Each structure stands twice: as structure tokens, then as C-alpha cells.
């Protein structure tokens, strides 16, 4: 059986991901950003090493059924109060940037409404 990727037009695809850079289509992203299943990357100003409530308030979380948070080279824990707030709002996963980007491509290919929020390590 041949298996090939079936992706509707207009769905963003991540072609390369490292801890310090992500390539989406023809765009090379070297600063933190977020993107959804139906729109292009948008700059995301974060507070630094630890996510804060103000960082999350910038994200259009309510419009998505899943939120993937890439925390750089390695998966970094987020504060319990932030985890609690996210858990009340949506389904979410925190992982390394590379893992989050790979997961985004898979989930968006399934047609799900997913938000990817990536912290680029070079900013820290």
C-alpha cells in the first residue's frame, strides 16, 4: 500500500526545526512565534526562561482544540499555576521545540485545529 501525505492547500508546513530556528514554507524564523492550522507564524514576545500568564494571554488559545508549546532545545517545565490555567482552557502539551514542530505537522495533517507556540532559545 502506498501512503502519501494528503494536506489541503493553505495548511502551513514546517520543513525544518531546530532549537534556534524553524522554517515554515519559505520563512526562516529565528524569534519566538505562534501559528495555527489556518494562519501564518506571528511574532510572540515572551517573558524569558519561564512562561508567565501574560505570555499566554497573547495566544488565541480558545480557537484551537490543542495547544503545543515548544520550549527550546529541551522540554522545560512550566509553573503549576500556568499549567492549571491551561488545563481549564484547552488540551495542551509542553515539549522541546523540535518535538512540538514535528507533532504540529502530524496533527494539522489530520485536519485538527491546533496552535503551535514556539520559544526560540537564542532569545534566552
Q: Is residue 79 part of a domain?
A: yes
Q: Is residue 9 part of a domain?
A: no
Q: Is residue 38 part of a domain?
A: yes
Segment-wise mean pLDDT, segments of 10 residues, the chain, 124 residues: 55 89 93 93 86 92 94 89 91 96 94 94 56
Q: Is residue 92 part of a domain?
A: yes
Residues 68, 115 contacting (CB under 8 angstroms): yes
Alpha carbon separation from 5 to 32, 34, 109 (Å, rounded): 28, 23, 8
pTM value surpassing 0.85: yes
Domain count across the chain: 1
Q: Cα(105)–Cα(11) distance, rounded to whole angstroms? A: 9
Domain containing residue 100: 32-123
Amino acid at each position: 500500500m502506498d501512503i502519501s501525505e494528503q494536506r489541503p492547500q493553505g495548511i502551513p508546513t514546517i520543513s525544518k526545526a531546530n532549537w534556534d530556528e524553524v522554517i515554515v514554507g519559505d520563512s526562516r524564523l529565528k524569534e519566538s512565534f505562534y501559528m495555527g492550522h489556518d494562519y501564518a507564524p506571528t511574532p510572540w514576545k515572551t517573558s524569558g526562561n519561564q512562561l508567565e500568564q501574560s505570555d499566554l494571554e497573547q495566544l488565541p488559545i480558545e480557537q484551537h482544540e490543542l495547544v503545543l508549546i515548544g520550549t527550546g532545545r529541551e522540554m522545560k517545565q512550566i509553573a503549576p499555576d500556568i499549567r492549571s490555567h491551561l488545563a481549564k482552557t484547552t488540551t495542551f502539551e509542553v515539549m522541546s521545540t523540535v518535538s512540538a514542530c514535528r507533532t504540529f505537522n502530524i496533527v494539522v495533517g489530520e485536519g485538527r485545529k491546533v496552535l503551535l507556540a514556539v520559544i526560540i532559545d537564542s532569545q534566552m
